[in-house]
Amino acid sequence: MINQEKLKDVVIKFAGDSGDGMQLTGAQFTNSTALLGIDLATFPDFPAEIRAPQGTIPGVSGYQLHFSSDAVYTPGDQIDVLVAMNAAALKVNLKGLKKGGIIFANSDGFDTKNLRLSNYAENPLENDSLTNYILYKIDVTTHTREALKDFTDLGIKERDRAKNMFVLGLIYWMYNRTLDNTIAFLQSKFSKKEQILQSNITVLKAGYNFGETTELFTSRYTIDKAIMPKGLYRNIMGNQALALGLVAAAQKSKTKLFLGSYPITPASDILHELSKYENFNINTFQAEDEIAAICSAIGASYGGSIGVTTSSGPGIALKSEAIGLAVMLEIPLVIVDIQRGGPSTGLPTKTEQSDLLQVYYGRNGECPLPVLSCATPADCFEMAFEAIRISTQHMVPVILLSDGYIANGAEPWKFPIASELPDIKIQHKNKLDEGEESFLPYKRNENLVRSWCVPGTPGFEHRIGGLEKQDNTGNVSYDSENHQKMVLLRQAKVDKIEDFIPLQTIDTGTDSGKVLVIGWGSTYGSIKSSVLELLQQNYSISFTHLKYLRPFPKNLGDILKKFDTIIIPEINNGQLIRIIRDKYLVNAIGYHKIMGTPIYKDELVGFFKKYLV
Amino acid sequence: MTETLIQPKPLTAKDFSSDQEIRWCQGCGDYSILAQVQKVMPTLGIPKENIVIVSGIGCSSRFPYYMNVYGMHSIHGRASAIASGLKASRPELSVWVVSGDGDSLSIGGNHTIHLLRRNFDINLLLFNNQIYGLTKGQYSPTSEFNKVTKSTPYGSLDHPFNPAALALGAEASFVCRTMDRDPKHLQQTIFRAAKHKGTSFVEIYQNCNIFNDGAFEIYTEKSSKADECLFLEQGKPLIYGAQNNKGIRLNGLKPEVVNLDSHVSAEDLWIHDEMDFYKAQILTRFFDQPNSEHSNLPRPFGVFYEHQRPTYEELLVQQVNQVISKKGTGDLDKLLRGSEVWSIE
C-alpha cells in the first residue's frame, strides 16, 4: 500500500554525467512544478567542458530545484533528494545531501569502470557507507534497454541516451505529476525524428510505470500551491528575463535595438534569445571579437538605435577602452556583464560577484557611468528595462550586472502586460529649440544631458570623438580649464541620476536596529532567507538589497545611520564594502565567500548571529 | 527653422569643408586626399546629411573633423567595427572609414578583415604611409624590411604586409590602389570606390614628409613614375613605360615583363579584367620592392578587382522581412507570456 504524503518543501538535485541530459531533466521537472503553482528556484551547475571524459568527477553536471508551498528565495542549501546517474555524481553531491535524505542511484552507473573513474575503492551502494540515507538502487540503464527492446532501428547508444526519461518518469510518479507537459515538449523537440520521439515517450512512461508496479517505494508525495500574489505566472531564467527586458524597453521606446555581442559563458544565451526576435525591430550582430561587439553597438547608438553589448568579466576587460569612448561621446549604450569566477579565464561556469570594482573603476581617465545590478532571475527583466531607460534618458552608457547564478537560475515570474509598462520617450534632435541660434552638440539640459542628434538629420552635421570636448560646441579642446570642467560635468551628470531612481527601501525587517545586512546581486535569496529566520528568532536584524550601485539611491546614507552594525556579504574578496566604506565612512563588516558557489542561508545565519548577541 | 539650413543649390567641394583649422603638417599627403574626397562627394548625388565618416586613431583619423558631414573620431583600430554597427542599423547612410596602415592593419587588423568578408557597403580609405606618424616615427606593418626607425635602430625584422593581397584574401569585393601625388587618379579611384556596392578597399599611398619622406617617390616622381607604375584600365592591355613600350604577358600563371616590338604586340599582352579573381590575385602579387635586386614587375594602380555580391545589410534587411512575413510583427504581450503560464487566483 502506497502512502500519500503531503510535503511543504523539497530540494531535489538531478546529477549525472554531462552527457546524461540532467539539465533537460531538471528543466522539465521545473516546468511541471511551476505549472502547478508551486513556488520554486533552480540552480543548474555544470562543468566548463562540454563533454569532460565520461564517468569522471569533472564531467558531473547537476540541476538543483527547490520547490515549496511557502515562498522560495533560494535553490536551497541542502539537498533532500539526490538523483545520481553514476558514481561520480554521487561522489560530487553526497556532501550536499541532508542526513536522512533520499538517493535514487542508477546502479548501472556504478560498474567497475565508473567506480575507478570516480575514485571509489569499493561500490558505495554495496557497502554500508550510505546507511544514513534512504537509498533506492535502480538499474536505470537496464530498464531503459528493456523498454526499448523493440526499437531495433536504434543503436545501443541512442537507446541509452533516453535513460534520463526513465528517471524523470519515475520522479513524476513519486511527486504525483502527469506526463503531459513533457510529452508535449518531446513532440515539439523531436517533431522530425519519429523514432527518437517514440523511444523517449516509451521510456518516460516506463519510468512512471516502474514507480507504479515496483514495491520499492512506500510513499508518494504532493505539495500544495504556494501563496503568491494573484495573477498569471510563467517560469523564467535570468538571461531570458534580461533579454525580454531589453526587448520590452526597446518596444516601449519605439526604437530599434541593436545587440553587438561575442559568445562568452555565461552570457551567450542573451545573444541566442535576442537573435530570435528580428520581428521586434531588433538586429543582432555576432561580432569578430569583444571589442568589435561593443564598437558595433556604439556605431548603432550613434545612428539612433539602442546599442547593447553582452558579455562576462574577461570580455568587459576587453571592452574598457570602448566604454570610455561611449562615456566621452555621451551616447546611450547598455553593457551587460554576466559575472563569472575570475581572474583571467577563471571559473567560466561558476558564479562570482567580482567585477563590481572593474565596472566601477576599471577604465582610463575619470570615467564614471551608472551601474545597475539584478537580484533574481525574474528581476533581470526590470533591471534591463531600467538600464535602457537610464541610458537613453541620460545619454550615458550603463552597465548592468548579473551573474552565472542568476543567469541560469529560474523562478516563477508574474509577467507584466505590455500596456502597463511605462513608455520611454526618445526624441532624436531634428530641430532647433525656441531661442536656439545654432546647433551645439554638447549643450546640456537641466539634467546635464546633451541631445541625441543622429546622422541623416539635415543641417545638423557635426563631428564627435574621443578627444576632449569643448563645452557646448563639442569641438576638440586641449584647454586645461575646459578639461576640468568637462570631467566634473560628466561626473555630475551621472550623480544627477540619483533623482531619477527609486529610493532605497528595507526589504526585510525594521528600518532601524542592531544589524543591517546590505546585499547586491545574486545573494538576495540567501540573505533574505537568513534574515527571515533570524527575525523569527526575534533578533534585531534588517536587510536592504541594492540594485542601483552607481549612483546609490540618495537616502542610502540615512538608512545606514539607523543601525549599529552594517554587514555586507559578497561572493568576492570585498568589493561593494570598499565603495560603501569610502562613500559613507561606515565601518562595515564583510562576509566573503569565493568558492564559485552561492552563499548559503545557514552560513549567513551563523555569521550574522555573531553580531546579534 | 531646419528648412533654412538645407542647401537648395547643388553642392560643391566647399560645402563639404568644415570650419575647423586643419592640423596636419605642411606638405602632408593627407591634404591632397582631403581635397579629392571633398571634390568627389558632391558628385555622388548623396545628401550630405546622409554621409558619415568614421575614423580611428592616427594622423589620417583627424579626417572627419575637416569634413562638413557627420563624423566620428573613435578609438585606435575600431573604426570599421563602429561603422559596421552603424551601417547594419542604418543601411540608407553612406558610410566611410578613414584609416591608416597602423590603424587598419596593425591594431585594427582583425576588424579590417571581418569588414571585408561581411561586405558592408562601406568605403575604407586606407592611407598607407608605411610609418607611425602620430607617435613620431616607429615602423608600421607596411614598412619595408630592415627599416631603421626610432623603435628599430638596428633595422626592423618584420616582413611587411601586402595590403591589396590581404584584402583579396579576406574576400574583399573591391580592391584598388592609388596615390596622393596623382590627384586625378586619386579622384577617379575614390569615385569608383564610392560607386561600388559592398566594401571598397582603397589603399592610398600617402607621403609622410616628416617621418618617412619619399617612401613612394619612385612611383610619384616624374623621372621614374612611368617605368615603375602600371595603371590598370578595364579591358585594356597592361602597358606601361615612359615610351609605352613595356607590357605584361602571362606565361602560364607567371607574369613577365616584355618589350613591345616587332615580335610582341598589344594583343599578346594580359588584358585587364577587374572581374577576374584569379588575375586579380596575381596582380596583387606585383609587389617587388623597388630598387631591390629582384625588382622586375611594376607596381599596379587602379582597380584590381570588383565583384558584386550581396552586402551584409541587404541580407539583414531581407532576413528581417522574411521573419516578419512568417511570424508577423512582434507581439510583446505574446512574448512576455511565453508558452506555458499558470494562474494564481
- Domain presence at residue B123: yes
User: What is residue B8's predicted lDDT score, i.e. its pLDDT?
Assistant: 60
Pair A350, A410: CB distance under 8 Å: no
Amino acid found at B27: G
B95: nearest CA partner in chain A = A455
- For A1, A3, A145, A211, A221, the CA distances from A215, given in Å and listed in that order, are 9, 12, 21, 8, 16
Q: Is B85 part of any domain? A: yes
The answer to whether A302 contacts B72, with C-beta atoms less than 8 Å apart, is yes
Which residue out of B17, B19, B48, B86 would a mutagenesis test of the A interface target, given it has the greatest number of A Cβ atoms within 10 Å? B86
Hey, which residues does A517 pair with through a beta bridge? A543, A567
Per-residue model confidence as pLDDT tens digits over B130-152:
999 999 999 999 999 999 999 99
- Closest partner residue to A35 (CB to CB) among B20, B68, B342 is B342
Structural domains of chain B, count? 1
Interface predicted TM-score of the whole assembly (ipTM), two decimals: 0.96
Residues A231, B344: C-beta atoms closer than 8 Å: yes
Q: Partners of A45 in the beta sheet? A: A62
Nearest Cβ partner for A300 among B67, B85, B338: B85
Nearest CB partner across the interface for A415, out of B52, B67, B336: B336
Q: What is the mean pLDDT of chain B?
A: 95
Nearest chain A Cα to B62, which residue? Answer: A465
Closest CA to A599 of A50, A47, A35, A73: A73
Q: Quick check: is B204 in a domain?
A: yes
> Could you tell me which residues are beta bridge partners of residue B271?
B237
- Chain B contact for A10 (CB, 8 A cutoff): no
Return the pLDDT at A529: 96
Pairing of β B246-251 and β B254-259 = antiparallel
Does any domain span residue B49? yes
Q: For A340-432, where are the E strands, in sequence order?
A: 371-373, 397-403, 410-413
Dihedral (C-alpha) A497, A499, A502, A508: value to the nearest 10 degrees? 100
B 76-135: CB under 8 A from A: 78, 81-90, 92-93, 110-111, 114
Cβ neighbours, 10 Å, residue B14: 9
The helix/strand count (H/E) of chain A reads as 20, 22
Query: Is residue B308 in some structural domain?
Result: no
Q: How far apart are CA A201 and CA A87, in angstroms?
A: 26
**The pLDDT value given to residue A231:** 93
pLDDT tens digits, one per residue of B60-87: 999 999 999 999 999 999 999 999 999 9
What residues in chain A have per-residue pLDDT under 50? none
Check residue A522 and report its DSSP letter: G
Give contacts of A 329-368 with B, CB under 8 A. Answer: 329
CB proximity list for B55: less than 8 A, separation 6 or greater: B61, B62, B63, B64, B71, B72, B73, B74, B79, B97, B98, B99, B103
Q: Is the pTM of this model over 0.90?
A: yes
CA distance A519 to A527: 7
Q: What is the pLDDT of residues A217-251, one digit of tens each?
A: 989 999 999 998 999 999 999 999 999 999 999 99
Q: What is the mean pLDDT of residues B258-286?
A: 95
- State yes or no: pLDDT of B2 exceeds 80: no
- All three cell numbers of B203, joined, read 589603399
B40 within some domain: yes
3-state class (DSSP) for residue A261: strand
CB A281 within 8 A of CB B330: yes
Amino acid at A362: G
In a domain, B139, yes or no: yes
Whether B73 and A302 lie within 8 Å, measured CB to CB:
no
Please name which of A388, A387, A382, A381 lies closest in space to residue A400, comparing C-alpha atoms.
A387
Would you state the cell numbers that stand for residue A171, as one nine-digit string? Answer: 520522479
Whether residues B337 and A232 touch (CB distance < 8 A) is answered with: yes
- Cβ of A295 and B78 within 8 Å? yes
Residue of A nearest to B327 (CA): A279
d(Cα A579, Cα A576) in Å, to the nearest integer? 5
What would the pLDDT profile of A422-438 be if each residue is shown by its tens digit? 999 999 999 999 989 99
Using CB atoms, pick whichever of A181, A232, A455 lies closest to residue B49.
Answer: A455
Domain that holds residue B182: 13-220
Query: Is B191 part of a structural domain of the chain?
Result: yes
Contacts with A, B 186-225, CB within 8 Å? none
Residue A300 gets the label, from left (phi > 0), alpha (psi -120 to 50) or beta, of: alpha
Where b means 16+ CB within 10 Å and e means fewer, B79-113 reads: bbbbbbbbbbbbbebbbbbbbbbbbbbbbbbbbbb
Phi, psi of B298, rounded to the nearest 5 degrees: -75, 165
Cis (ω within 30 of 0) for the bond into B10?
Answer: no
Give me the pLDDT at residue B1, please.
45
The domain spanning residue B109 has which CATH number? 3.40.50.970
- 3-class secondary structure for A533-558? HHHHCCCCEEEEEECEEECCCCCHHH
A313-329 and A290-302 helices, crossing angle to 10°: 30
What is the sign, positive or negative, of the torsion defined by CA atoms of A47, A51, A54, A56? negative
Residue A243 is predicted with a pLDDT of 98
Burial class (CB in 10 A: 0-12, 13-18, 19+), A106: buried
- At B6 the pLDDT is 53
In this structure, the number of other CB atoms found within 10 A of the CB of residue A423 comes to: 11
